[in-house]
Structure formats: structure tokens, C-alpha cells
């Protein structure tokens, strides 16, 4: 009886161990990224994107992705998905690039849909998706000719096992032409002092303008940030700096700050998501307060105007 009981316990332990191995084995497979690489062709500009380069709203792309399926799972399938935030460039989205993958099943492969499926067979697979980034993809708000833009970090491609285990993603940054213009212009203007194009006596004012352009961009006001950056020009800054130029620069900064604040008041009244808008108003109020402190060193009257604006924003929240 003792021997029988001992063997029973041994068998039970073996069965439990096998079950745990199967569970952890499948879990480990799910934790390994199956996506080993990808490449992107910009069909609008007819060129290949470099590593880290963002997608641009309004452009059409062909994204090729390679997967390495680590193990065969009898009866198992996996799904590759293109986010439905992207638009169609035609009736066909997906293309099978590698023809030798043993898990291909014509009944599962639906190239006109956002999702395609394959049988889970060990091996390498390459597919490509062609899509359009919608023109207004980065536009968060637009009213009265004022546009708020936001770069987006989008999970464009997802590979998953049915049941919720994600086995690979392709995540890309998405911008638009205006955001690109701002980023390129900011880099250009940031180098004007170090390159000697603008006298170093203007360094503090150029840095102030760059900081406020960055503030406007962080609020989504890229068009206004671009206008401010374009004012940083050697032809606008003769040597040496005069008091009138100083006041003009500070006045321009304050005017743009006030416009940003007023815009978010409009958003709070017009949008149904009022809580989100109020957060933006608070952010604008804090930044106006910071500009007020800096303006006090140059012009008391301008500082008082900013203080009044700060109070108005305080009433809104």
C-alpha cells in the first residue's frame, strides 16, 4: 500500500510538472517578439524611410514586416493587423512577400481586410501592407482658422495569437508637413548663434524666442511657432541690439502667449471634453505666469497686461 501511494504521488508530480512546462513554454513563446525587422517605402515621395523617420499625414506607404515564428503549434493560428486608423489606398491592403511559408492558408489570408491570419508553423514570413495616413491624422482641434496639431505615436502593425497574447508590434511616430517644417526650422534657428550668423549679444533674446516657440509647439500651435521662428533672422537683428528691438521681441512673445491662452478658453467652451480643455488652460496659465516674470525685467506695463491675462485664465478654471 505504501509503494502504491508513493507511485501515485510520483505520477501526480510528473503530470503537474508537464502541465507547468506546457504552460510556461507557451507563455515564453508569446513573450518573444516574432517581428524581426521592417522597412517602409514612401510611395508619395518615392523613397525609402530611414530608421526613426516618422510617417507624414497625407502620404501613402508600403510597410514590409518580417516575422520569425519560433515553433509550430498544431491547430494554432496567429493574426497580423494593420491599425484601422490608417486609410486604404485601394481595395487590397496586404501582400504576401515570402512565398515559401508553410503556414500560409488561402482561406485565412484576406488581403482586402485590415487583419490577415496564418497557421502557426515554425519559419520565416514577410508580408507588406499598403496604406494612407489620413490628412487630418495629427489635427486634434480646428476652429476659426486656428489648428492644434499633435504628433502621434501609433502602433501601426500588431502580431497576436488569438486569446490576447501580442507577439510583436511596429510602433511609429506620425507627424504632418507643418510639424516637420517646425522641427526643421527649430534646428536651423538653434544654430544661428553658434554659427556666427547672429551676433552673440542677441543670444539671450534668441534663446527666449526659441523657448517660446517650443512652448507654442507643445500646446499644438505649430503654425504660430513657425511664425515666431521665422522672425529669428540675421536681417532682423542688426548690431548692436537696441532697446526698441528688445521690446518688440518681448511684445511678440507675449502676444503669441496671449493668443495661445485665448485659444484654449475657446476650446473649453466649444468642446464636450471640458476636463481635457481645462488642463490645457491651466498649462497655458502657468506659462503666461512665467512670461510675466521675465517681462518684468523689461517692461512693467507688459508685465501688468500678462498679470491680467493670468487672472482671466484663473477664472476659467
**For 264-307, how does the pLDDT look when each residue is reduced to its tens digit (9 = 90+)?**
555 545 554 445 555 656 666 676 666 666 656 554 555 565 56
**CATH domain 35-174 topology:** Immunoglobulin-like (2.60.40)
The DSSP 8-state label assigned to residue 235 in this structure reads G
Residue 173, pLDDT score = 98
Residue 1, pLDDT score = 44
Residue 28, pLDDT score = 41
Owner of C-alpha cell 490608417: 86
Within a 10 A sphere around the Cβ of 162, how many other Cβ atoms?
10
Residue 204, pLDDT score = 84
Q: Are 248 and 302 in contact (CB under 8 A)?
A: no
Pairing of strands 115-119, 94-96: unpaired
Residue 255, pLDDT score = 60
Q: Where are the domains of the chain?
A: 35-174, 180-240, 255-291
* DSSP element (H, E) containing 247: helix 243-270
Closest CA to 186 of 157, 218, 158: 218
Residue 245, pLDDT score = 53
CA distances from 311 to 99, 102, 289, 307 (A): 66, 68, 10, 6
* Cα angle 244-247-250, degrees, rounded to a multiple of 5: 150
Residue 310, pLDDT score = 58
What three-state secondary structure class fits 111?
coil
For 87, phi then psi, to 5°, come to: -95, 165
The model's pTM is 0.70
Residue 209, pLDDT score = 85
Which of the residues in the chain have pLDDT under 50?
1-3, 10-30, 268, 272-274, 299, 316
Amino acid at each position: 500500500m505504501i509503494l502504491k501511494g508513493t507511485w501515485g504521488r510520483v505520477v501526480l508530480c510528473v503530470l503537474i510538472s508537464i502541465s507547468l512546462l506546457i504552460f510556461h513554454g507557451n507563455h515564453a513563446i508569446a513573450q518573444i517578439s516574432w517581428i524581426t525587422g521592417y522597412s517602409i517605402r514612401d510611395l508619395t515621395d518615392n523613397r525609402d524611410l530611414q530608421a526613426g523617420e516618422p510617417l507624414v499625414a497625407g502620404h501613402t506607404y508600403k510597410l514590409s514586416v518580417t516575422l520569425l515564428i519560433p515553433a509550430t503549434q498544431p491547430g494554432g493560428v496567429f493574426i497580423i493587423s494593420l491599425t484601422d486608423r490608417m486609410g486604404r489606398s485601394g481595395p487590397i491592403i496586404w501582400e504576401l512577400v515570402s512565398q515559401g511559408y508553410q503556414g500560409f492558408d488561402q482561406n485565412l489570408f484576406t488581403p482586402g481586410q485590415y487583419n490577415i491570419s496564418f497557421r502557426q508553423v515554425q519559419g520565416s514570413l514577410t508580408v507588406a501592407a499598403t496604406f494612407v495616413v489620413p490628412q487630418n491624422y495629427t489635427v486634434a482641434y480646428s476652429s476659426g482658422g486656428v489648428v492644434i496639431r499633435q504628433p502621434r505615436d501609433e502602433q501601426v502593425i500588431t502580431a497576436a495569437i488569438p486569446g490576447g497574447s501580442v507577439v510583436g508590434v511596429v510602433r511609429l511616430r506620425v507627424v504632418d508637413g507643418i510639424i516637420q517644417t517646425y522641427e526643421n526650422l527649430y534646428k536651423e534657428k538653434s544654430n544661428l548663434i553658434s554659427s556666427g550668423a547672429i551676433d552673440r549679444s542677441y543670444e539671450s533674446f534668441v534663446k527666449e524666442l526659441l523657448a517660446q516657440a517650443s512652448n507654442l509647439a507643445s500646446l499644438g500651435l505649430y503654425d504660430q511657432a513657425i511664425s515666431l521662428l521665422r522672425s529669428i533672422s540675421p536681417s532682423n537683428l542688426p548690431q548692436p541690439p537696441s532697446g526698441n528691438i528688445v521690446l518688440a521681441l518681448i511684445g511678440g512673445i507675449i502676444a503669441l502667449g496671449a493668443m495661445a491662452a485665448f485659444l484654449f478658453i475657446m476650446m473649453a467652451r466649444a468642446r464636450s471634453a471640458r476636463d481635457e480643455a481645462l488642463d490645457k488652460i491651466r498649462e497655458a496659465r502657468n506659462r503666461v505666469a512665467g512670461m510675466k516674470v521675465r517681462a518684468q525685467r523689461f517692461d512693467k506695463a507688459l508685465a501688468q497686461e500678462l498679470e491680467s491675462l493670468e487672472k482671466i485664465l484663473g477664472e476659467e478654471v
